Structure 1
């Protein structure tokens, strides 16, 4: 997948062990519930069934992260989590991370990428829909740890 013009300055790479502190700090600063723990991030960094991505730009080595899961025998990847620093929001970091997640899924021969999003997360919903994701299925009641509902989205990949 080719990066969108808005994401040209944002670079995305696979996360390394040296990113662990930043990954955990961003997770704790971004989410109140359903956090990925340090031990889970550590496991995902070395896992064949996960890809942890990190975005950087303009000499900032850590602006955001995405976590993608792959299931053996499935052609559908799952964008489990995406987060960016507050100062990076609205500057193409999320788009670049999603582009990279899609590219990772295509590389793994997946033909679709799915995700869940809180029904009250209007900014994320707008981003996903702008990038070609479509809502699938009914609202998932009580999906999140705090009882919040979720929408499921999917994008077919080339």
Structure 2
């Protein structure tokens, strides 16, 4: 359960510095660049969500991709500030990403996660994702990935 005052919202241009800083601190490779974040903020096929407890308390973010004529959304990334880990921020971001995909009439959410990122694997499995595949050497540094999918409730169901 996230702290009571956590708010999930769409990222804004004013969040760009915080997004890039969190990306740099969270990942050692396969990082989104400032230019990529900037593009995603203006894109119809991407959504960047932010978890915060106010304008100066940035806790995490999620990046979700959508493809035209596809009923499957892709969770590209979730990053949580180290001080907020274990407080439900990742779960809150994941829930918000799923709700967004549902509103866009997606039937499923898919993602890849580092096979050695046991905390993230536990999060996804706890949230109802099922492992659907393996990708050897998927990451820039040669790390393997697990592929996961979750079927979302049908609109109107």
TM-score normalised over the length of structure 1: 0.93
| Aligned length in residues | 152
Contact 2:29 2:141 in 1 (8 A): yes
Q: Which residue of the other structure, out of 128, 142, 147, is the alignment partner of 2:142?
A: 147
Q: Deviation digits for residues 77-102 of structure 1, max 9, x if unmatched?
A: 00000001101000010000000100
In the alignment, the residues of structure 2 paired with residue 108 and residue 92 of structure 1 have an alpha-carbon distance, to the nearest angstrom, of 24
Alignment RMSD (CA, Å): 1.2
In the alignment, the residues of structure 2 paired with residue 118 and residue 40 of structure 1 have an alpha-carbon distance, to the nearest angstrom, of 21
SS class of match (1:110): coil
SS class of match (2:128): coil
1:11 Cα deviation after fit: 1.3
SS class of match (2:150): strand
Contact 2:3 2:87 in 1 (8 A): no
Structure 1 alignment gaps of length 5 or more: 1-5
Find out whether 1:48 has 2:44 as its counterpart. yes
Q: Deviation digits for residues 19-49 of structure 1, max 9, x if unmatched?
A: 0000000001111111100000000001000
Q: Which runs of 4+ in 1 moved over 4 A?
A: none
1:56 Cα deviation after fit: 1.2
TM-score normalised over the length of structure 2: 0.93
